[in-house]
Structure 1
Amino acid sequence: MQYYTNTLFLENKTMSRQSISFTDPNDEWLKKNVGAGCEYKSNSEAVNDLIRKARKEQDELEYIRAKLIAAEKSAEKNGWVDKDSDEILKGFKERLRSDEEI
């Protein structure tokens, strides 16, 4: 992909101006979804929205990944890796009882 950049200042926000190339399928998608009566008013609006969505998805995946890693470490720490679901549930209940929560 080839592009060039310039910097714009709009409402106290710095915005980078770029020229980008699209594949034919992506160009067709833009033509169908940008313009009067469409979801987006400009190609820039469409591309920025798609990037925002991709960034949000990436943040969510990183959050989930971190939680899964923490859960895995907790399972290893508590010796649950080699146990079946009944043994794990029994362990949870024992921990709760020892904490006087049941």
Structure 2
Amino acid sequence: MTMMRKTITIPDAMESWIKARIESGLYVNDSEYMRDLIRRDQERHAGEEQLRGLIAEGLESGMSNARAADIKKRVEDRLKADGRL
């Protein structure tokens, strides 16, 4: 993997925060901390995109004639089958 060097400017308060995170032992250095933040942002963005897709799919599917209790049961059954419940 190719690594690129980036230069950023941050306020003193943010620098202190980063140093405290490193001193706590959670990160080895500034770069590791920044990479972790970027990875988390990427994961959040991917989750948001997935949610937008699911919302669009739901809106496009139209209205249901099923009762709320029936829908809840189908969801529970599917989650149990997937091992998520």
Give the structure-2-normalised TM-score. Answer: 0.70
Q: Does 1:59 align with 2:84?
A: no
The structure whose Rg is larger is 1
**Whole-angstrom CA distance in 2 between matches of 1:53 and 1:71:** 27
Q: Does 1:16 align with 2:4?
A: yes
Aligned length: 70
Of Structure 1 and Structure 2, which has the larger fraction of its residues in strand? 1
Q: Look up the equivalent residue of 2:33 and give its one-letter code.
A: A
**Whole-angstrom CA distance in 1 between matches of 2:60 and 2:12:** 46
Of Structure 1 and Structure 2, which has the larger fraction of its residues in helix? 2
- Where structure 1 has 5 or more consecutive residues not aligned to the other structure, the ranges are 1-12, 94-102
Q: CA RMSD in A?
A: 2.3
Q: How does 1:32-71 map to 2 (within 5 A)?
A: 32-35=20-23, 37-71=24-58
Q: Look up the equivalent residue of 1:68 and give its one-letter code.
A: I
Identity of aligned pairs, percent?
Answer: 24
Quote the residue 1:73 is aligned against.
Answer: 60
Give the structure-1-normalised TM-score. Answer: 0.59
CA deviation map 1:1-57 (0-9, x unaligned): xxxxxxxxxxxx20001111112332121011014x521010000000010001001
